[in-house]
Amino acid sequence: MRRLLCFTIILCLLQGNLEFEMEQETETHVVTVDSTNLRFNPSTVTLNEGDTLRFVWGGQALPHNSVEENGVFDSGDPERDLDFGHVFDYDSAGTYNFFCEPHESVGMLGSVTVLDVEAPMDDQQNNSANMSSGQSMEAAMNWEPVYAVGLIVLFSAATWRARIYD
**For residue 50, how many other CB atoms are within 10 A of its CB?**
20
* Residues β-bridged to residue 4: none
Q: Which is nearer to Cu ion, 67 or 158 (CB)?
A: 67
Q: Which is nearer to Cu ion, 100 or 114 (CB)?
A: 100
Among 6, 40, 45, 64, binds Cu ion (CB under 5 A): 64
Q: Which is nearer to Cu ion, 76 or 94 (CB)?
A: 76
Question: Do residues 6 and 166 make contact, with C-beta atoms less than 8 angstroms apart?
Answer: no
Q: Which is nearer to Cu ion, 77 or 116 (CB)?
A: 77
Shortest reach from residue 15's CB to Cu ion, in Å: 51
Scanning 70-130, the segments in alpha helix (DSSP H) are: 121-126
Report if residue 100 touches Cu ion, rule: CB under 5 A.
yes
Report if residue 108 touches Cu ion, rule: CB under 5 A.
yes
Q: Which is nearer to Cu ion, 18 or 38 (CB)?
A: 38
Report if residue 45 touches Cu ion, rule: CB under 5 A.
no
Binding segment for Cu ion among 6-14, 80-88, 96-104, 127-135 (CB under 5 A)? Answer: 96-104
What are the residues whose beta carbons fall under 8 Å from the beta carbon of 162, sequence distance 6 or more?
Answer: 2, 3, 6
CA 14 to chain centre: 24
**Angle of the 133-165 helix axis to the 2-22 helix axis, nearest 10:** 150
**For residue 112, how many other CB atoms are within 10 A of its CB?**
24
Report if residue 103 touches Cu ion, rule: CB under 5 A.
yes
Chain contacts with Cu ion (rule: CB under 5 A): 64, 100, 103, 108
